[in-house]
Amino acid sequence: LRRNMLPGLILSSPPFQMFTNSDEAVINKKLPKELLLRIFSFLDVVTLCRCAQVSRSWNVLALDGSNWQRIDLFDFQRDIEVENCRMTDITDISVSFFLSLSLFRTFSQNCRNIEVLNLNGCTKITDSTCNSLSKFCPKLKHLDLASCTSITNLSLKALSEGCPLLEQLNISWCDQVTKDGIQALVRSCPGLKCLFLKGCTQLEDEALKHIGAHCPELVTLNLQTCSQITDEGLITICRGCHRLQSLCVSGCGNITDAILHALGQNCPRLRILEVARCSQLTDVGFTTLARNCHELEKMDLEECVQITDGTLIQLSIHCPRLQVLSLSHCELITDDGIRHLGSGPCAHDRLEVIELDNCPLITDASLEHLKSCHSLDRIELYDCQQITRAGIKRLRTHLPNIKVHAYFAPVTPPPSVGGSRQRFCRCCVLL
């Protein structure tokens, strides 16, 4: 593996005459080879390549397969040239530069043991790339193709044929993917645990029905901004994926309380729920959810404009593990709801972040109710008109390390009095 930004660095063994004759160095005599190999395991790619040029013995140690199971090339945004490399031991690699088709085919042929591959943002990735993966990388488990916008259903069909062990797939923002690609994928990859479909705007309920029918191991599902999905498809997910722990449907404005009921009845292990901008959700649905999903840790309820203090009361009673809660733009929330939250079981040792931006009914009294939340690390208070500097100062006396994000408009200076000469700022003069 030769890197253009580091001329002369070659991963494959170079001629021995390139090395100094230091095999009898004191360090090689004093330290056993196993210990030196362990030391080398902590080095980055560049340092390993430099060590490989020190001596014959160090060359063997530096290029040992155990040091090349994971490679992260995100820091090197340059094209690379793949030669006859010893890459068969690599199982985990991340790249973020432009890969030509011929280069990627060579890469996949030489990395047949690859299990984790991150191609996030590689704009030259196409269906042909996934065909190469399908043909040469049958052990692939984790694949990140986020923002590889050229891939289509053909990529998912290829992966389904050649990568049956796939457990995690990220195709966020791949907006050419439809239900046909999802159907092919899930039918042949029953072990899928994490599926990231954020921004796949063509997906409809039919795609979700295929996921619910064929992915019983699913733990994480991200459907953010998949605006065409409705209750019908998501209910199928809930009924078929009982191990679900993380669900993001933020920006899916068609969903209703029926989803919260389905989650409560079928997914008791749920830990993360993101439903920002789902304006049809109400206290009724969140009551069912809270009473059945006691392991909830993170909830994003931003712009769930219909919820009231009733939701906070239920969360404070039934969700003792709650750590992060976003209530921004929930304009019906009052100090009383925060009071219940601040006295609930999650308050003292769990609650770390609470976001209350644009909650007009929140006052300094809410800050008083949060003083006993000893783990509280951050609170968002932008555009909370009834919050004052004095209230924030009192909160900080109890929680000195808390990060408070708030904004107070500067006071308008009084008009100048006396004197006949008009005063203008320099900007006005220039204008």
98 HSE (CA, 13 A, CB side): 5
The mean per-residue pLDDT over the stretch 112-121 comes to 89
Residue 401 lies in a domain: yes
Identify the pLDDT of residue 158: 97
User: What does the DSSP 8-state code read for residue 410?
Assistant: P
Smallest CA-to-CA distance from 350 within 315, 395, 400 is with 315
pTM of the model: 0.79
pLDDT in tens, 259-309: 999 999 999 999 999 999 999 999 999 999 999 999 999 999 999 999 999
The mean per-residue pLDDT over the stretch 366-389 comes to 96
pLDDT of 210 above 70: yes
Contact 307, 284 (CB under 8 A): no
In sequence order, the β-bridge partners of residue 2 are: 81
Beta strands in 322-365, from DSSP E residues, in sequence order: 324-326, 353-355
Between 70 and 190, the higher pLDDT residue: 190
Identify the pLDDT of residue 51: 87
Residue 377 lies in a domain: yes
Residue 271 lies in a domain: yes
Residue 91 lies in a domain: no
The mean per-residue pLDDT over the stretch 72-101 comes to 52
Cα–Cα distance measured from residue 357 to residue 380, given in angstroms and rounded to the nearest whole number: 6
Residue 283 lies in a domain: yes
Residue 350 lies in a domain: yes
Taking the CA atoms of residue 137, residue 139, residue 141 and residue 147 in that order, the dihedral angle to the nearest 10 degrees is 0
**For residue 299, what are its two tokens?**
């909830």
Split into its structural domains, the chain has a count of 1
Lowest average pLDDT, out of 12-26, 176-190, 257-271, 382-396, goes to 12-26
Place of tokens 């068969």: 88
Residue 319 lies in a domain: yes
Smallest CA-to-CA distance from 309 within 277, 339, 274, 352 is with 339
Identify the pLDDT of residue 81: 43
Lowest average pLDDT, out of 23-37, 61-75, 374-388, goes to 61-75
pLDDT of 344 above 50: yes
Residue 336 lies in a domain: yes
Q: What's the whole-number average pLDDT of the chain?
A: 86
CATH of the domain at 324: 3.80.10.10
- Band (pLDDT 50/70/90 cuts) for residue 8 is very low
Taking the CA atoms of residue 283, residue 287, residue 288 and residue 292 in that order, the dihedral angle to the nearest 10 degrees is 150
In sequence order, the β-bridge partners of residue 258 are: none
Axis-axis angle for helices 179-188, 153-162 (nearest 10): 10
Cα–Cα distance measured from residue 275 to residue 251, given in angstroms and rounded to the nearest whole number: 7
Identify the pLDDT of residue 418: 53
49: three-class secondary structure by DSSP:
helix
- What range defines the domain where residue 316 resides? 256-408
